[in-house]
Amino acid sequence: MALRTAAQFLAGLRDNREVYYRGERVPNVVEHPELGVAARHASIDYELAENPKLRELAVYREGPSEGSGEYSAYYRVPRSSQDLLSRSKLIEAGTTEGATLVLLIKEIGTDALFALKRVLGRSGDTDGIRRVEAFYRRCRDNDLALAVAQTDVKGDRGKRPSEQSDLDMYVRVVAKRADGILVSGAKIHTSCTPYVDEVIVLPSRSMGPGDEPWSLAFAVPVATPGLRLYASDYLHGTDDPFTRPISTNHKMVETLTVFENVFVPWERVFYVDRPDLAGATALTFVEFHRFTAVSYKLPLLDAMVGAAIAIAKANGIDRAGHVRDKLTWLGGYAETVRGLTELAALRCKVENGVAYPDVFTTNMAKWTFAREFHQAIETLQDLAGGLLATGPGGMDWNSPEVRPVLDKYLSGAWPADRRMAIMNLIGDLTTRLYGGYQAILAVHAEGSMEAEKMAMFRAYDPSRSIGLAMRLAGLETNAGAK
Amino acid sequence: MALRTAAQFLAGLRDNREVYYRGERVPNVVEHPELGVAARHASIDYELAENPKLRELAVYREGPSEGSGEYSAYYRVPRSSQDLLSRSKLIEAGTTEGATLVLLIKEIGTDALFALKRVLGRSGDTDGIRRVEAFYRRCRDNDLALAVAQTDVKGDRGKRPSEQSDLDMYVRVVAKRADGILVSGAKIHTSCTPYVDEVIVLPSRSMGPGDEPWSLAFAVPVATPGLRLYASDYLHGTDDPFTRPISTNHKMVETLTVFENVFVPWERVFYVDRPDLAGATALTFVEFHRFTAVSYKLPLLDAMVGAAIAIAKANGIDRAGHVRDKLTWLGGYAETVRGLTELAALRCKVENGVAYPDVFTTNMAKWTFAREFHQAIETLQDLAGGLLATGPGGMDWNSPEVRPVLDKYLSGAWPADRRMAIMNLIGDLTTRLYGGYQAILAVHAEGSMEAEKMAMFRAYDPSRSIGLAMRLAGLETNAGAK
Amino acid sequence: MALRTAAQFLAGLRDNREVYYRGERVPNVVEHPELGVAARHASIDYELAENPKLRELAVYREGPSEGSGEYSAYYRVPRSSQDLLSRSKLIEAGTTEGATLVLLIKEIGTDALFALKRVLGRSGDTDGIRRVEAFYRRCRDNDLALAVAQTDVKGDRGKRPSEQSDLDMYVRVVAKRADGILVSGAKIHTSCTPYVDEVIVLPSRSMGPGDEPWSLAFAVPVATPGLRLYASDYLHGTDDPFTRPISTNHKMVETLTVFENVFVPWERVFYVDRPDLAGATALTFVEFHRFTAVSYKLPLLDAMVGAAIAIAKANGIDRAGHVRDKLTWLGGYAETVRGLTELAALRCKVENGVAYPDVFTTNMAKWTFAREFHQAIETLQDLAGGLLATGPGGMDWNSPEVRPVLDKYLSGAWPADRRMAIMNLIGDLTTRLYGGYQAILAVHAEGSMEAEKMAMFRAYDPSRSIGLAMRLAGLETNAGAK
Amino acid sequence: MALRTAAQFLAGLRDNREVYYRGERVPNVVEHPELGVAARHASIDYELAENPKLRELAVYREGPSEGSGEYSAYYRVPRSSQDLLSRSKLIEAGTTEGATLVLLIKEIGTDALFALKRVLGRSGDTDGIRRVEAFYRRCRDNDLALAVAQTDVKGDRGKRPSEQSDLDMYVRVVAKRADGILVSGAKIHTSCTPYVDEVIVLPSRSMGPGDEPWSLAFAVPVATPGLRLYASDYLHGTDDPFTRPISTNHKMVETLTVFENVFVPWERVFYVDRPDLAGATALTFVEFHRFTAVSYKLPLLDAMVGAAIAIAKANGIDRAGHVRDKLTWLGGYAETVRGLTELAALRCKVENGVAYPDVFTTNMAKWTFAREFHQAIETLQDLAGGLLATGPGGMDWNSPEVRPVLDKYLSGAWPADRRMAIMNLIGDLTTRLYGGYQAILAVHAEGSMEAEKMAMFRAYDPSRSIGLAMRLAGLETNAGAK
């Protein structure tokens, strides 16, 4: 199979998938005025291979034993620090083409598949491994787009899946048949579902005895009967390209992903009834996925730093001491995230030939990103000024009567058109719907800060530090082991 | 004259004012689908006096020498701490009725008038004082709504008004006539202009020799020929009451306020050609106005704390240690601002019978509010969860087909309807357009954090602290005076 | 009885109290080269009444029913905001005389007595009330100095007192006799014990069934047999007045306070076997005591702000933008603590005629103080410069050979002697032993930040904020009550 | 020449150097009770080569053209990332052997020599290069210990060297002779001067026309006539090994380093009268030296993290949520510094065969270290508890009478001896004199945070970020270049 083009990808979305948007069934996602924007944004993924500057990053080749074709590099199993760095660069490049919005139609899916390989590999479930491998090759060989549905709707957070009053609060097996299983329940926060080919479904937490029906992993095509996608309209209203230079053309859509007696043939069931694998799958997935996350945050951070420098110049305040201080802080913040991301790859652990980004460093990068992101927003808003909220809209800008007034009065150290272009970029990034969207992603996507801190706590190897402290205190080290 | 009703106020806006919105001239502000929302929000001011619980706060009486009527309490000149506390409570109550959005059609105007009284009083310009007093009585007696246009568009921030290549970058006198003056130029960030009766115009900075034409203060009716208002459409698109419970019904609108040869009769010119008064006016105005600002921030802070507690319960996470820690921080932040606001009134200085809130304490309250506001946003978003960005819209909620799915799957510790009501309140407050609007206000309205810090630096009385340090160091105090 | 003089107080310490310092029994505390410094520091308390400027604050009179004498104002039961403000001012004035180090020989004891009055009053234990009242009058009438031993050594923090392997980990009754009780165990962090007249002993935590023997409150003279004080030598070595202008002459000493079968006559047992009163006593005591705490922190904060301004001038950097920014932050921090302290008094609750500082506000003041104190240290060290660690000592300064070199080379914008006086004040306050002592006090004295946050969480009244949030969300309020 | 032993190094310090301590001339530094501790601490440097585990790091060999001997690896000119990582590891290992206190008798000197090589290399001053090379070989071949005197005493910070009223405020040439020059003036904050072989003297700032006499770099043996060292006694009093497990045995000493007509032969004058080289020397030196700095901070950070974990266990609070949160923060802080330090080496620039650590990343590491260090102190003090200030001293601990009381009552989850060992380690690291010393170093050594931020601002390459922002805003990139 050859790599697909963006057009082929979009053509592939024309099926009987059941998508709801703003209360109505969507007959055709690609032609829909809003979901179509999201689908076309995602399709940028398929253009990377055609971009001469990015082709090297975006495509890889495997020898005869793996077929003779070229594949999307997202599907390359990382074997080394260098592979992880390349994957990170690819994700960064894709997100840059996406104008700071991640494409996410292969990143997250391969994170899930790599995680499933590891978990099943460790468990020795050879049949499960075979099914994952087969699915992986199918996706890779057909250059498919993937979503991952992980977060369950959870119901009462104080109860396990089997204790919920409504058993559908976590996705579960409701029946087993000779040819497969039937699943019901719902996942939330599933990104890109309306415009991918396949949905991979993973458990979202550790399970225990009694949670067998909820302990499963599988994949289905989006157009499977009984699978219904309720898409969020959060970014509805971002249709003024003057004030929303990014979000008018770039959207991502999340769904409430409902399964009602969805049939999954055995070949697509990676495992079922395995409470012992559920927690490991959830954790291993996020270990990969947070590395994806910090990689795709980098263009956003760069755009923020660059916009901050530009607006300081456009406003004519770039020589003020406090402005330099804020720019330096912002640059230091962005570069710390970038540096730690790079280090997470350099410090990878290789297990059975697969390279895993260092868990502590990855989480440290993500936590650094998340915990200071709102300060970065504040800094940008501070440097930009009140025009973020009081400035003109696109209809003003395009009015022959109004425009001359704006040109005259909204100039600063830069003329009004250039100044407002940067101002509106900052507004889109930090203040309006897309800004709020990125803020929520910063706080919640790929796990909360609490989850990141917990991962850091668990992954920290205290032997060097506690050994030193004990030695300095004149004590034997071993008694103080973690 | 009697107090006006909301209907009377709205009726008064029907004149030939020149307002532009989204590129077009608005024939009638009150009937306009978006500006009308803002006008009706402002009209809440006129309902306060009719609310039995608030009447005491909202109305005051003056003895015979001042006429025998009742007046809106915003017009009461504060004489004591108690008067300042009452004014603060009134502003807080109005903003609470405004659902966290300040009404601002008398607050800011009286701040300006009190400031003009002080500045002209100190300067001994008896004629100017008389004109300010006359205008003040006219506004008070007719229960008028006022906007204040202060911030000039500024052009090149490194140059004085007289040095700009375009002399209109600061509002200025272009001609003097026997009956009055003609003014040109533009102000930016003027709040509520399209739906008030009068606009008061103040200088935005200190002026020096050569800046005479830009050193003026005056007032004109909104419907004055040559005065054109270009309204920002920032809150356009907040029309889904499910996801925007506040901003669908409550808006404030800012304008680019352009003067083109606007005629101002002498009786309405408070002063002109007075560089010596410009800086004092700007500073005195913000001293009053920042006290207004911290007063009107309190309902927003309360709503944020209350929503945080509610969503923690609705999500079923209110017993987690880190959640309590975040709630405590948020409450401590809000109450510190409240406490310092109260203290600013208690520590007032009375000068010539007028009570001025303590400058240092007022600015400390405002600075505390501003510098931690983004952390408060983050905290709320953290507690609320990803549904802020991935949840359903009003059209989903109102769809008979979709609603049962949402009811089933979006419940937490509270049922879905109650949980989503709080979720959407938080989304409106922190994440979508209104959230961005409040964030920009936090950072920029009534002056930036840098301006607040500068005011604190200037207002700090170092005698106690430096005296103690010098004594402890065994040194004479006087040599180290500031 | 008359008020005592400092000399009378010191004379009263000459008894057979059992004090250990640096491994040895101290025969006479007052004559001891280091403990004597602490005793004389404490004796400043007795000089306040003789200081004409402070007499008004330091002394109070009661009518005939209370005796006709004058009393130390620490003993005045606060009846109003004004009384609490006066008490706060007195504590502040005493600490200012103590050169930023609290005197604490009546503050804490009266905090304990007021708390006991309230707890026993609420419990209706009239006999206990009578004993507390009698002890209170004895202390007041004789102008006694008091320590409070509260924090138990605790042993295994995961176990209750009755579950400890060594039952002495909390102070307890080991025997009851007709004439009184015998107590054993130990308290830690007891301030000023070696140089006061009486020690009041309170429980440090809530108790439950089975904890009866540990649930007691009593008082004993310091010189009671079986009571042994092991004093910390933390401030040993602060004997160079050049580099330690404060701590050479001002010390406070804490003890490990050990009870070995100490006899307490019934008249001095306020209660025993009352697990129901233990927690309330501990909490009520800290509610008073944290108000004392924030009051005595104010001179320290003033000294830090003043020293910061002075060193910026002495170093010649006071006009730099970043320096002004740091000074403003520091002033804002100090004044926020001061303002909240004042508010805690203004917002007092009066119960049975006694005024209690507002719990939420008091804890907010203390938490604000504590959580930013280390940043204040950093700021001072930043402004002062490396001479804090690399500068000369007193022996250099006093050497005729070395001094001219120092005078020549250590001058800045101020001559060397003045600059070094401020430098050394900052070193004493932030960098050397006394600085570390104040830092530990900031973090731990009167409860940790976690304890303060817990108190804030409990004391927060959510009705206004949650009511507003529910109303804005269109929900009924009552369902969301805390 | 062979590598020297510690004994040989110490023997080499016995000369007629002129050192003053506590007001008196020190006849023999090594035998002095306090300076001898510092000298022996420094001598650990010479033991590294004898430690089998460290020999590989500590020694390097050069081929015949460079002589056939082995040299101390500090003298190895870094040629690659790997060399910089090895240098960093060596500095870290030496500091670990020094119990968190840097040895600094070769680190800083080689930083200075590498900087001089670069600056003179760029300037094309072949004679200067030759003299630096000759001096470098002399130091390397004889395994000498070096101090660097850079910071001038500065006098009035608002004036250039030539404008000072006392011309000695910056070290300067007072006379030129056929055989060399005479220099006068003073440097401050010079580390280790009393116990090294040579002092390298560098300018501390950029110079301009008229500053020629102050624009020089040279080296002299410590025992040169006219060179006088006034050592700070800051760490005097750290003689109780129980409470100061580190600082009793490990000290570093700084001097006021005074030159009075000191003769420097031409062969040791690297340059003179070169205002054009002064600023470049100062900057290039700190670029190397900040990499040294972040390397030597790592053991301190490790000790703090390890001590925090250990005391949480010893106190029995390690399972509390807020404790885990604090430990995670502390670990994240320490590891961010470590990670950025590693990256600074990995991102090095190679110029003329010499590898320079990346300036932006190095400064980011140092700034990260410095700006959060006080929070790390607070965290440790918070976890440790009030015993830091109220615990027993060594004389108590060693008293047969007192010790059993302490053993009984100071146990926690760990027995008293182990708990107090960790407690005292924390006290030494954060609270007493050594803690203050490290805090001052964090804020000031190798430049202040303001200097680090300025270096970051200058070193930041905005092309990627500003290019992205301009592209996203639809603007041409080049117009916005920095």
CA distance D169 to chain B (A): 24
- Apex B412 CA angle, B409 and B414, nearest 5: 120
Shortest distance between the Cα of A322 and any Cα of chain C, in A, equals 8
Please give the pLDDT value at position C66: 59
pLDDT exceeds cutoff 90 at D383: yes
What pLDDT shows up at residue A67? Answer: 60
SS3 state of residue C270: strand
pLDDT at position C476, please? 74
User: Tokens 């960064």 — which residue?
Assistant: A92
Instruction: Compare all CA atoms of chain D with the CA of A244 and give the residue at the minimum distance.
Output: D473
D465 contacts A303? CB cut-off 8 A: yes
Give, rounded to a whole angstrom, the gap between the first and last alpha carbons of chain A: 51
Subunit contact B440:A386, Cβ cutoff 8 A? yes
Mean pLDDT calculated for residue range B314-329: 97
The DSSP element (H or E) to which A164 belongs, if any, is none
The answer to whether the beta carbons of residues D459 and D363 sit under 8 Å apart is yes
Flag whether pLDDT at C392 surpasses 70. yes
Given a cut of 90, is residue A160 above it in pLDDT? yes
Which residues contact residue A123 at a Cβ distance below 8 angstroms, ignoring those fewer than 6 apart?
Answer: A274, A276, A277
Res A177: pLDDT: 98
Q: What percent of chain A is predicted at pLDDT more than 70?
A: 97
Whether pLDDT at C453 is above 50: yes
Residue A477 has pLDDT above 90, yes or no: no
SS3 D153: coil
Is B331 exposed, middle or buried (CB count within 10 Å of its CB: 0-12, 13-18, 19+)? buried
- Check whether B66 has a pLDDT greater than 80: no
- A27 to chain D, any CB pair closer than 8 A? The answer is no
Distance separating alpha carbons of residues B384 and B378, to the nearest angstrom: 10
Q: What percent of chain B has a predicted confidence (pLDDT) above 70? A: 97
pLDDT for residue A308: 98
As a whole number, mean pLDDT of residues A95-104 equals 98
Nearest residue of A to residue D366 by CA position? A332
Q: Convert the pLDDT of each residue in B349-398 to its tens digit.
A: 998 899 999 999 999 999 999 999 999 999 999 999 999 999 999 999 99
Sequence-separated (6 or more) residues with CB below 8 Å from residue C123 = C274, C276, C277
What three-state secondary structure class fits B300?
helix
DSSP state of C222: T
pLDDT band at B480 (very low <50, low <70, confident <90, very high): very low
The average confidence (pLDDT) of chain A is 96
Neighboring chains of C (3 or more beta-carbon pairs < 8 A): A, B, D
Q: Mutate which of A89, A434, A465 to test chain D, going by most D C-beta atoms within 10 A? A: A465
Which pair of tokens denotes residue D5? 């032993």
Pick the closest to residue B365 from B349, B345, B380, B381 (CA basis): B345
Please tell me the predicted confidence (pLDDT) of residue A481: 42
Contacts of C474 in chain B (CB under 8 A): 245, 421
Chains contacting chain B through 3 or more C-beta pairs under 8 A: A, C, D
A436–B432 C-beta distance less than 8 A: yes
- pLDDT higher at D67 or A465: A465
What is the nearest CA distance from D37 to chain C, expressed in angstroms? 17
Mean pLDDT of C200-205: 97
Place of tokens 């009755």: C162
Short-list B285, B260, B294, CA closest to B151: B285
Does D385 lie at the interface with C, CB-CB under 8 angstroms? Answer: yes
C168 and D409 within 8 Å at the Cβ level: the answer is: yes
How far is Cα A74 from Cα A77, in angstroms, rounded to an integer? 8
Between CA A153 and CA B281 the distance in angstroms is 57
Residue in the structure block whose two tokens are 């410069």:
C385
Q: Which residues of D touch C157 (CB under 8 A)?
A: 315-317, 412-413
Residue C295 has pLDDT above 50, yes or no: yes
Q: Which residues of chain A neighbour B433 with C-beta distances below 8 Å?
A: 432-433
Residue C479 is predicted with a pLDDT of: 47
> What is the model's pLDDT at position A158?
87
Q: What's the whole-number mean pLDDT along residues C356-362?
A: 97
Helix (H, G, I), strand (E, B) or coil at C271: strand
Residue of chain B whose Cα is closest to the Cα of C417: B475
D444: nearest CB among C234, C386, C439: C386
Q: Looking at CA atoms only, how far is residue C339 from chain B in angstroms?
A: 7
**Res. C482: pLDDT tops 90:** no
User: What letter does residue C195 receive in the DSSP assignment?
Assistant: G
- Using a CB-CB distance cutoff of 8 angstroms, which residues of chain D are in contact with residue A302? 464-465, 468-469
For residue B1, what pLDDT is reported? 56
Closest-CA residue of A relative to C324 is A322
Q: Which helix (H) or strand (E) holds C154?
A: none
Q: Is D286 helix (H, G, I), strand (E, B) or coil?
A: helix
CB contact under 8 A, B156 and A398: no
What is the structure's pLDDT at B482? 40
Query: What pLDDT sits at residue D425?
Result: 98
Q: Cα separations (Å) of D45 from A314, A442, C344, D113?
A: 54, 47, 57, 19
Q: Is C154 on the interface with D (CB under 8 A)?
A: yes
pLDDT in the model for residue D69: 83
Residue B478 DSSP class: G
For CA atoms A341, A345, A346, A349, the dihedral sign is positive
Is C322 touching A (CB cutoff 8 A)? yes
pLDDT of residue D190: 98
pLDDT band at C481 (very low <50, low <70, confident <90, very high): very low
| From A72-76, A265-269, D2-6, D322-326, the region with the lowest mean pLDDT | D2-6
Q: Does C165 touch chain D (CB under 8 A)?
A: no
C200 contacts C268 by C-beta, under 8 angstroms: no
Contact partners, residue C29, CB within 8 Å, separation at least 6: C13, C17, C19, C35, C36, C39, C194, C195
CB distance from D164 to chain C under 8 Å? no
Residue D294, classed as helix, strand or coil, is helix
Within an 8 Å CB–CB cutoff, is residue B164 touching chain A? no
Q: What are phi and psi of C51, to 5 degrees?
A: -90, 115
C102 or C67, which is more confident: C102
Query: Residue C205's CB: how many other CB atoms inside 10 A?
Result: 18
| Identity at D433, one-letter amino acid code | L
| C157 residue type, one letter | R
Q: Angle at the Cα of A123 (from A117 to A128), degrees rounded to 5?
A: 55
> Quick check: helix, strand or coil at residue A350?
strand
- What is the SS3 assignment for C384? helix
Say which residue the tokens 């409550």 belong to.
B250
Residue D482: the pLDDT is 40
- D residues 275-294 closer than 8 Å to C (CB): none
Report whether pLDDT(B323) > 70.
yes
Range scoring the smallest mean pLDDT among A158-167, B304-313, C216-225 = A158-167
pLDDT for res A66? 59
pLDDT band at C158 (very low <50, low <70, confident <90, very high): confident
What pLDDT does residue A480 have? 44
The per-residue DSSP string of B99-128 comes to: TTS---SSHHHHHHHHHHHHHHHHHT-HHH
Q: Chains B and C: how many Cβ contacts under 8 Å?
A: 177
Q: What average pLDDT does this structure show over C12-37? A: 97
Place of tokens 């502000």: B29
CB A477 within 8 A of CB A469: no
β pairing state of C269-271 and C254-265: unpaired
Band (B476; pLDDT cuts 50, 70, 90): confident
Please list every residue in chain C whose beta carbon sits closer than 8 Å to the beta carbon of residue B335: 360-361, 364, 460
Q: Average the pLDDT over A57-65 and give the result.
A: 81
What pLDDT does residue A69 have?
83
Give buried/exposed letters for C210-228 (b at 16+ CB in 10 A, else e): ebbbbbbbbbbebebeebb
Rg (CA), chain D: 24
C413 in reach of chain B (CB within 8 A): no
pLDDT digits (tens, 9 = 90+) for D268-279: 999 999 999 999
Hey, CA dihedral for C384, C390, C394, C398, is it positive or negative?
Answer: negative
Contact B465 C309 (CB under 8 A): yes
Residue A482 binned pLDDT confidence (cut-offs 50, 70, 90) = very low
Chain D contact for A334, CB < 8 A? Answer: yes
State in Å, rounded, how far the first CA of chain C is from the last one.
51
Tell me the mean pLDDT in the region D122-137.
96
Residue with the two structure tokens 């249709």: A239
User: 3-state SS string over B37-83?
Assistant: HHHHHHHHHHHHHHCCCCHHHHEEECCHHHCCCEEEHHHCCCCCHHH
Strand bridging mode B254-265 / B269-271: unpaired
Between CA D212 and CA D208 the distance in angstroms is 8
Instruction: Spell out the alpha helix ranges (H) of D33-78.
Output: 35-47, 55-58
Please tell me whether residue A4 adopts helix, strand or coil conformation.
Answer: coil
pLDDT at C69: 83
Beta carbons of B158 and A387 less than 8 Å apart: no
By the CB < 8 Å criterion, does D325 face chain B? yes
Instruction: Name the percent of chain C lying above pLDDT 70.
Output: 97
Q: How confident is the model at residue C477 (pLDDT cuts 50, 70, 90)?
A: low
b/e per residue C324-360 (b: at least 16 CB within 10 A): bbbbbbbbbbbbbbbbbbbbbbbbbeeeeebbbbbbb
Residue in B249, B6, B327 with CA at minimum distance from that of residue B143:
B6
d(CA D347, CA D359): 9
Q: If you average pLDDT over residues A284-305, what whole number do you get?
A: 97
Put simply, whether B322 touches D (Cβ < 8 Å) is: yes
CB contact under 8 A, B233 and A389: no
- Find the farthest-apart pair of alpha carbons in chain C and give their distance in angstroms, rounded: 81
Residue D422, pLDDT score: 98
Per-residue model confidence as pLDDT tens digits over A383-436: 999 999 999 999 999 999 999 999 999 999 999 999 999 999 999 999 999 999
Q: For residue B176, count CB atoms less than 10 angstroms from its CB and return exposed for 0-12, middle for 13-18, buried for 19 or more.
A: middle
Mean pLDDT score of chain D, rounded to an integer? 96
Helical axes D359-384 vs D321-346, angle rounded to 10° = 160
Across the range B310-324, mean pLDDT stands at: 97
φ, ψ of residue B231 to 5 degrees: the values are -85, 140
Supply the DSSP symbol for D106: S
Task: Show Cβ contacts of residue C328 under 8 Å, excluding neighbours closer than 6 positions.
Answer: B453, B454, B456, B457, B460
For chain C, the average pLDDT equals 96
Cα–Cα nearest to D143, from D4, D15, D50, D44: D4
Angle between helices D275-314 and D449-459 (to 10 degrees): 120
DSSP one-letter code for C18:
E
* CA-based nearest residue in chain C for residue B482: C309
Q: What is the band of B69 on the pLDDT scale with cuts at 50, 70, 90? A: confident
Partner A contacted by C321 (CB < 8 A): yes
Neighbours of B37 (CB within 10 A): 20
Contact between A22 and B410 using a beta-carbon 8 Å cutoff: no
What is the pTM (predicted TM-score) of this model? 0.96
B355/B86 Cα distance (integer angstroms) = 12
HSE value, Cβ hemisphere, 13 Å, CA-based, for B34: 19
D339-379 pLDDT, tens digit per residue, is: 999 999 999 999 888 999 999 999 999 999 999 999 999 99
ipTM, two decimals: 0.96
Asked if the Cβ–Cβ distance from A401 to B23 is below 8 Å, we say yes
Rounded distance between C-alpha atoms, residue B97 and residue B116, angstroms: 29
What are D461-477's pLDDT values in tens digits?
999 999 999 999 999 75
Minimum-distance CB partner of B325 among C302, C453, C472: C453
Mean pLDDT calculated for residue range C316-338: 97
